[in-house]
Structure 1
Amino acid sequence: MKISRGVGVRPAMRRTGGLLCALACLLLSACESIHPDIVKGHTVGEAERAAASADAGREAVTQPAQDTTPERAPRPTAFYEPGTGIFVGTPVEQVRSVGEGNITLNFENTNLREVVKVILGDLLDVNYNVDPAVQGAVTLQTSNPLSKDDLIPTLELLLRMNGAALVTQGGLYNIVPRDSAVRGMLAPQLGNSGLALPRGFTVQVVPLSYIAAEEMQKILEPFTSPGNVVRVDTVRNLLILAGSGPELSRLLSTVRIFDVDWLAGMSVALFTPDFVDAETLSSELEIVFGDGGESPLSGLIHFVTLDRLNALLVITARPQYLEKVSEWVERLDRDSGGAGQRLFVYRVQNGKAADLATVLGEVFQSEGGSAVVAPPELAPGLAAMEISSPPRPPEGGAAAPAVVEGPRATVPSLVPAAVFGGEGVALTGGAPIRIIADEINNALVILATSLQYKQVEAALRRLDVSPQQVLVEATIAEITLKGDLKYGMEWFFSNQIGDKQGIGQLDLGAAGIGAIVPGFSYQIIDKAGAVRAVLNALADDSRLNVISSPSLMVLNNQTASIDVGDEVPITTQQQQATTGVSTVVNNIEYRNTGVLLSVTPRVNVGGLVIMDVEQEVSQVSTESEAGSLTPTISKRSITTSVAVQSGQTVVLGGLIREQKAVVRSGIPGLYNMPIIGPLFGTTSDEQIRTELVVLITPRAVHDSTDAAQVTEEFRSKMQSLRPLSIPKEEKSDKVEDGEPQRSWPRVGPDEGVTKPTESRTAPSGTVSEVAQDATQPAAIDWPDDALLLSRGSELTAD
């Protein structure tokens, strides 16, 4: 059957149809020609290697033998896996229509709508619909007859040339503009389902197995036609394609070619050298194979060094190159004749060279061998000896014997006593290592082979690390036990405060504490916070005496001590001559008294601080005679080990001391007058009981950021100690609730109204006066870290 439209056949149209067929054949042949060459592969330099082997054989015959030492057997690698070398898949052959066609099309500048009517209506007898926006003209001539299966692809080609597309919906064929073919008219179909592509413009969802969707999109860009849709879903690794049947068939074939197991094609080997380090071996192999340069092999072989394992990872796309690399590893990994022990210097960064030398000496000790750590010492009765390596023999001569000076002795070789735990290292064989500590320059001088030094250096990198620090804040206070505290602080906390936690707030109204200290408030956070709050209240009642509140920074696992006090001379020995002049000789030692604090913190990974605490508060007893060289020292000390989280407070207490005192009280100014003073006062004996309480708060400082934060916090505390500057003339009348209120500047601790006084006479006769304000409480000595949120700045009086 022949269908002819328009003017007769033109030669130019015959050439156009031939070019289209030739282009399709070229695309198919190109797809079919990609894979065979890649799968087959090609051994580079095979002929050159054979020629080189032949030349080497001829040289072996003509040249005399220089070295008859047999080479060591090839050492197996830690991991060796050659790949397949396949990086592209096999293209799917295009299915061609079977049988000869009997339809001939001849269009010469024919309206596109007429062409659609002829193909869909007259030849295929199907229902179709043409969008009014579809316009165009078609010129087509078929030299060879077509079958019915070829009509739809031919029509889609003509529609694409005119910006239109064929979309099937059920049994209806819609001819619509290509731009609107996807929106609202198509349902996606799974691209790897194995089903035949439907007729017309469709959408295919292609899941990728081995290649990333974005990478596949870059590969498909040169093969896509205008109007095709290529979208990427990176989360699901999907590719979304939209186009006509022939276009999608071409794109899906390209996807099958490149979506292959790329890792299975790569060849990988892991080499562990015996005599050189992996980094040196890698640099030498890069010179041989030209990786990263202008060599033809650039990019085909990759060398990756693994310092932790002292291994070299080789990755290549060609299995034969992996064999070549293995051969060169065997050639380069050799202990040359002059590669003996060398002198290395390691600069210690964070620790002490002597400590590291001692640790390494203990690590590399074993039965029958020992590491040499400076300064070397000899046992009594033994003499030093010197062993030197034998010199190289002259060519053709015999080797000279080793020179041993001194008495004969057995010098054992150094072998490791144990292997480090975790990421540790072990030393294998070799000559004895000498590790000498240079304390002046804080360096280690190591005499070892290159391989031994690499292993020792790996251990030093794990030992020579920046140590942690701990900020220890301590408050040493003495509390006078009277009233509710007469049984001690521990009884008071157990029966008065207990384990209650929460937020406590005092009455800040005019009838409460606000009239005395406006704005005063505190918050109880935990038990340590509760103790601080109670101690602050005790300071208000003149029952708290803060002896010392030191803050010190100390390295982890190091001891820090603070000594504030006097050195008291004590006679420890007395000698007197029995004849002649009677001369008495005294041996005097000085005993530290006062506040002595020693803390050794240890911090673990979780932030728990374990502290060894030694606290002592001592003084010369008042019962000792003045000027005596054998005084009595009154001492209260605590020695314990505690564990507390970083930033929390631990309380140590319970050391109660009792002493007698004579207390005098009366009318101020009159009871101190001679003769008539007792008429205006009273004198009584009183038992004074005091308890020593120690509060310690450790804080772990891991790095410079923590140290800067601690410093800034301490600086802010110092800023808060600045007194408020209030002008003396500041005085104003305020009216609140219709009544005038007068505002006065805040009264300091040494200002205010007349204060009745109370004096106490200690057993030694010393008189101490304690001021008690009848209307204004004494100034509170707030610790730096007291839980004080706000303070009043003025006093308001009616």
Structure 2
Amino acid sequence: AGAQGSPVAGGTGNASNTTVTSKSRNDFWDVLAQNVRNILASTQAQKLSSEERIARLDQIKAAQAERLQQATAVSGAGASAANLFSTAFPTPLPVPGDPKDDIVINPVAGTVSILATGRQQALVQQYLDSVTASVQRQVLIEATIVEVRLSDTYQAGVDFSRLAITGGLNVTQSLTQGSLLSPPNLTIGYVNPMSAIGNIAAAVRLLEQFGDARVLSSPKLMALNNQTALLKVVDNRVFFNVQAETVTNQTTATTTFNTTINTVPVGLVMFVTPQIDENGSVMLNVRPTVSRITSFVRDPNPSLAAANVTNLIPEIQAREMESVLRVGSGQTVVLGGLMQDDVRRNRDGVPVLSQQPVIGDVFSFRDEAVVKSELIIFLRPVVVANPSLESEELKSLQRFLPSSSSAKDVQ
């Protein structure tokens, strides 16, 4: 990862821009092959007899002597040294018994073939079993997204300490900054050792003391260990990109309009990446983004203005935070602090008279109200070792599936 800032040329001279670039590379099969080679290399010397060790050392010394002669020839080659070097050293000479010659991995078929002793194969099998068990573990993520329209008493937001006193919850507030995008006071979490889905429903009811609480969505999804899951509750709002092209000849000018439809998602988009440790705890990398349309601006294209065509482009307000949380399997964490103001303007008055161009304002009145709301996100990760409906974690979902008798009736 890297970040760099550079001043912008021209203008007032005090502006700057910052570019943050982050790269992450994770090749599962490459890491697996390297780890298996390390296991074989660590036990390679133990399986060699004294005679084999002497023979291998002789081979290495002979290869080094040959390379030394080649290097001497290259040093005296003059201008043709580059071509002679590529000919003399095309690739490193393989060393007999090198572990990379004993491993064949087929990522497409998902097979690993190893030429090794029985003891080495047992060690590799033990390693592969541990990797398989870790990779195949899944996390059931239960999310509840609640919007609270705050009352006049709690315009500063939901008071989670009051929620803890009322509901008997253990609330802990994080005052450390999670990332560049999240202020330190936006992540609030609580952990309840007896947490279940019923506790989330009870917490939602407790939120009503701060205003009108409305559940926007309650998705449930499964995610593999170290794989990112996406929660998306949005409205795809449509706007149009209008392009005008004017062709002028000697007498007339013809304008052709080309319209392209575009959509912008407005709502909540949240990325969740679970990581399970050896103790069964879950590390959650959470990144929620809330967006809404605040207003519309007119397209300043001169061709559109000349043709008296109005094209409105939406202005989007986005609020985003990112946090890394550690929570036990079955426990619940809460994210809060994503607030927004909704300004509502109403105009009413005496019929007919309030519509007159000059005296209309005398017979009418305007009402402007600001409604402040806060978005609360409940997340409950549950580690699922056996992704089957017979497991304890997923047994509660069986009642939502049709029974075998009803399936026979359908047939």
TM-score (norm 2): 0.53
Query: 1:407: Cα distance to partner?
Result: 4.9
After TM superposition, the structure 1 = structure 2 runs for residues 550-589 of structure 1, keeping only pairs within 5 Å, are 550-567=219-236
Distance 1:551 1:620 in 2: 28
Per-residue CA shift, 1:390-439, capped at 9, x if unaligned? xxxxxxxxxxxxxxxx9553534469xxxxxxxxxxxxx44642645434
- Which structure shows the higher helix fraction? 2
Match of 1:701 in 2: 384
Query: 1:595: Cα distance to partner?
Result: 2.5
After TM superposition, the structure 1 = structure 2 runs for residues 46-125 of structure 1, keeping only pairs within 5 Å, are none
2:389–2:395 contact (8 Å) kept in structure 1:
no
Query: 1:620: Cα distance to partner?
Result: 2.9
Per-residue CA shift, 1:753-789, capped at 9, x if unaligned? xxxxxxxxxxxxxxxxxxxxxxxxxxxxxxxxxxxxx
Q: Give the residue type in structure 2 aligned to 1:443.
A: T
Given the alignment of the two structures, is residue 411 of structure 1 paired with residue 84 of structure 2, yes or no? Answer: no
Match of 1:50 in 2: none
Match of 1:473 in 2: 142
Query: 1:450: Cα distance to partner?
Result: 5.5
Given the alignment of the two structures, is residue 360 of structure 1 paired with residue 33 of structure 2, yes or no? Answer: yes
Match of 1:635 in 2: 318
2:266–2:291 contact (8 Å) kept in structure 1:
yes
Distance 1:672 1:537 in 2: 40
Q: Note closer, same or farther for the CA distance 1:443–1:534 as it changes in structure 2 (3 Å cut).
A: closer
Match of 1:344 in 2: none
Per-residue CA shift, 1:6-42, capped at 9, x if unaligned? xxxxxxxxxxxxxxxxxxxxxxxxxxxxxxxxxxxxx
Match of 2:131 in 1: 463
Per-residue CA shift, 1:719-742, capped at 9, x if unaligned? 9xxxxxxxxxxxxxxxxxxxxxxx
Q: Compare 612-621 and 460-469 and name the one that shifted more.
A: 460-469
Per-residue CA shift, 1:431-475, capped at 9, x if unaligned? 6426454344332355x4566973655543443336211111111
Match of 2:47 in 1: none
Match of 1:169 in 2: none
Q: Note closer, same or farther for the CA distance 1:647–1:483 as it changes in structure 2 (3 Å cut).
A: same
Match of 2:367 in 1: 684
Distance 2:232 2:312 in 1: 22
Given the alignment of the two structures, is residue 433 of structure 1 paired with residue 101 of structure 2, yes or no? Answer: yes
Q: Note closer, same or farther for the CA distance 1:586–1:709 as it changes in structure 2 (3 Å cut).
A: same
Match of 1:603 in 2: 276
Distance 1:635 1:653 in 2: 15
Q: Compare 535-544 and 581-590 and name the one that shifted more.
A: 581-590
Distance 2:390 2:257 in 1: 56
Given the alignment of the two structures, is residue 621 of structure 1 paired with residue 288 of structure 2, yes or no? Answer: no
2:163–2:207 contact (8 Å) kept in structure 1:
no
Task: Give ranges in structure 1 of 5+ residues lacking alignment.
Answer: 1-353, 367-405, 416-428, 503-524, 665-670, 720-798
Paired-residue identity, %: 25
1:361–1:435 contact (8 Å) kept in structure 2:
no
Q: Note closer, same or farther for the CA distance 1:599–1:413 as it changes in structure 2 (3 Å cut).
A: same
SS in 2 for 1:558: coil
SS in 1 for 2:278: coil
Distance 1:568 1:716 in 2: 36
Distance 2:101 2:32 in 1: 14
- Which structure shows the higher strand fraction? 2
Match of 2:156 in 1: 487
Distance 1:550 1:441 in 2: 34
- Which structure has the higher relative contact order (CA within 8 Å, separation 6+)? 2
After TM superposition, the structure 1 = structure 2 runs for residues 178-577 of structure 1, keeping only pairs within 5 Å, are 355-361=28-34, 364=37, 407-409=87-89, 410-413=91-94, 429-430=97-98, 432-433=100-101, 435-444=103-112, 448=115, 454=121, 456-465=124-133, 467-490=136-159, 493-495=160-162, 498=165, 501=168, 532-533=201-202, 535-536=204-205, 543-567=212-236
Q: Note closer, same or farther for the CA distance 1:643–1:705 as it changes in structure 2 (3 Å cut).
A: same
Given the alignment of the two structures, is residue 645 of structure 1 paired with residue 328 of structure 2, yes or no? Answer: yes
Distance 2:336 2:385 in 1: 30
Q: Give the residue type in structure 1 aligned to 2:205.
A: N
SS in 2 for 1:489: coil
Q: Note closer, same or farther for the CA distance 1:624–1:435 as it changes in structure 2 (3 Å cut).
A: farther
TM-score (norm 1): 0.29
2:273–2:284 contact (8 Å) kept in structure 1:
yes
